[in-house]
Amino acid sequence: MQVAGKLKLSSVILCVAMAAAGLFAAVSAAKASGQQEGQAVPGATRADDQRAAAHAAFVLPPGVVVERDIVYTTGEQTNQKMDLYRPASGAGPFPGVVFIHGGAWSSGSKADFQRQASYLATRGYVCVSINYRLSAEAPYPAALYDAKAAVRWMRANAAKYGIDPNRLAAAGGSSGGQLAAMLGTTGLVKTLEGDAGNSGYSSRVQAVVAFNPLTDFVSAIEKTQNPEAVTKAVYAFLGGPLEKVPEVYVEASPIAHVSTDSASFLLLHGTADTTLPFSQSVEMREALQSVGIRAELYSAQGGNHGFFNFPPFYEPALKRMQEFLDSVFK
């Protein structure tokens, strides 16, 4: 059944994600002040956090093997690649996670989720972080087809990498969150599979972790406080304004596909997000719960767009993701 309605850690954590002294200092300050999960650090600005993060070189944690630039699907113009992070030891099979970067469907890189992917690899997951066709190369549904191909690739290569094909999740942020949410709601929609590779395998996932996702294209444009940037990105991705392609706005909205067959969801959203309103995740949670699907919402109080990449939210958001996935898969 479809829902009708309006479109709508440990020391390893610190080692992986906060190599710069500035980031360590920010987290230490939060802990010293009795900071609670989901709250902001008084006096710390997002600009300060971003500058510190820019100098925090990525360090692959111990016990993780990475394989970069694996081609997972081929195309007429470009081959799409992924980076794979897996435990260096252990019998497996391990649950798998496909990470999908943000960037308004027009930019971004598979390196954007390397910290989260490598962290989960230390906790017994095989993770891939993917590139996909951006809107300038090919509009919707090309990016979705690539994301589905990445899931199918994991199943096709499950034996080689010790992946459990029955325990797969999708995770993404912002526009990548929209794609991850689509994976979690359209696993049985044959018309949205595409033909980007390993067509004999299912693209269905059992869990979704979506950071500040777009879940409803119509309401996102209506409610955003940054309409110029959002409409520009959406028009390029969907092929024009709502009045030109209304059916595409519906089809590309994860909330329009919510059903009793949807995956379990963890939504993480900043309450002060001026790009994609907090209501995007609230309404998605309500739609999922209305049909009996497990759906949880982590509210980052005062967090803006991209909150999960910076202190004080990075560490608790990472832990929350792991706890959710562990509860679904383990």
Instruction: Tell me the pLDDT tens digit for each residue of 135-185.
Output: 999 999 999 999 999 999 999 999 999 999 999 999 999 999 999 999 999
List 73's β-bridge partners, or say none: 80
pLDDT > 80? residue 215: yes
Q: What is the end-to-end Cα distance of the chain in Å, rounded?
A: 28
| 1 or 213, higher pLDDT | 213
| 49 or 64, higher pLDDT | 64
**The domain 61-308 is classified under which CATH number: 1.10.10.10, 3.40.50.1820, 3.30.1300.10, 3.40.50.2000?**
3.40.50.1820
Averaged pLDDT for residues 189-197? 92
Q: What pLDDT band is residue 56 in, cutting at 50, 70 and 90?
A: low
Averaged pLDDT for residues 21-50? 36
pLDDT at 53: 53
Averaged pLDDT for residues 79-106? 97
Class of residue 191 by CB neighbours under 10 A (exposed 0-12, middle 13-18, buried 19+): exposed
Averaged pLDDT for residues 20-39? 33
User: Tens digits of per-residue pLDDT, 8-19?
Assistant: 344 444 343 333
Backbone angles phi, psi at 167, to 5 degrees: -135, 80
